[in-house]
């Protein structure tokens, strides 16, 4: 079962110290985050999401989310090819759904359905 990836959407960096990471990225980007909560900090970078997540495992490294029409369908297709669920498909707020799998080759692959995303430019 093939799926259609709609393109890159989001990169999430797991962080141990959310305040320090927020300051670092704010300084580097020259602006404050558009979303700043104890559970997640988000920056808009050229129309794409750069997120800081204190609850994620730094051992997983940065997590890239690919846009898809259905997160569950994308996860099911990946699992049918030998991947295993990494994080269950779940609504994370404002109509956005995310989920991820661990591929048979050891990579974490994220899928996202974000009804608010529009291609930059």
Of 57, 92, 42, the residue nearest 71 (C-alpha): 92
Residue 60 maps to a domain: yes
Give the pLDDT of residue 61: 85
Give the pLDDT of residue 57: 77
Give the pLDDT of residue 73: 96
| Distance, CA of 1 to CA of 27 (rounded, Å) | 44
Residue 69 maps to a domain: yes
Residue 99 maps to a domain: yes
Give the pLDDT of residue 118: 87
Q: Could you list the residue range(s) of the whole structural domain that residue 49 is in? A: 8-113
Give the pLDDT of residue 44: 93
Give the pLDDT of residue 105: 87
Give 76-89 pLDDT, tens digit per residue.
Answer: 999 999 999 999 99
Q: How far is CA 88 from CA 78, 101, 107, in A?
A: 13, 8, 16
Residue 120 maps to a domain: no
Residue 21 maps to a domain: yes
| Distance, CA of 108 to CA of 45 (rounded, Å) | 22
User: pTM (2 decimals)?
Assistant: 0.85
- Residue 79 DSSP SS3: helix
Q: How far is CA 113 from CA 9, 23, 32, 105, 109, in A?
A: 9, 28, 25, 24, 14
Residue 57 maps to a domain: yes
Going residue by residue through the chain (121 aa), what tens digit of pLDDT does each one get? 788 999 999 999 999 899 999 999 999 999 999 999 999 999 999 889 999 999 877 887 899 999 999 999 999 999 999 999 999 999 998 999 999 999 988 889 999 999 999 877 6
Domain count, the chain: 1
Residue 80 maps to a domain: yes
Query: Tell me, what CATH number does 97's domain have?
Result: 3.10.180.10
């Amino acid at each position: 079962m093939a799926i259609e990836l709609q393109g890159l959407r989001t990169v999430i960096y797991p962080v141990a110290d959310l305040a320090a990471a927020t300051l670092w990225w704010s300084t580097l980007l020259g602006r404050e985050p558009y979303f700043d909560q104890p559970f997640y900090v988000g920056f808009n970078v050229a129309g794409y999401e750069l997120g800081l997540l204190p609850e994620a495992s730094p051992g997983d490294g940065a997590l890239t989310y690919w846009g898809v029409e259905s997160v569950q369908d994308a996860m099911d297709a990946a699992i049918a090819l030998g991947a295993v669920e990494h994080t269950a498909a779940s609504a994370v707020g404002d109509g956005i759904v995310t989920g991820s799998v661990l591929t048979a080759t050891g990579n974490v692959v994220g899928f996202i359905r974000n009804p608010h995303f529009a291609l930059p430019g």
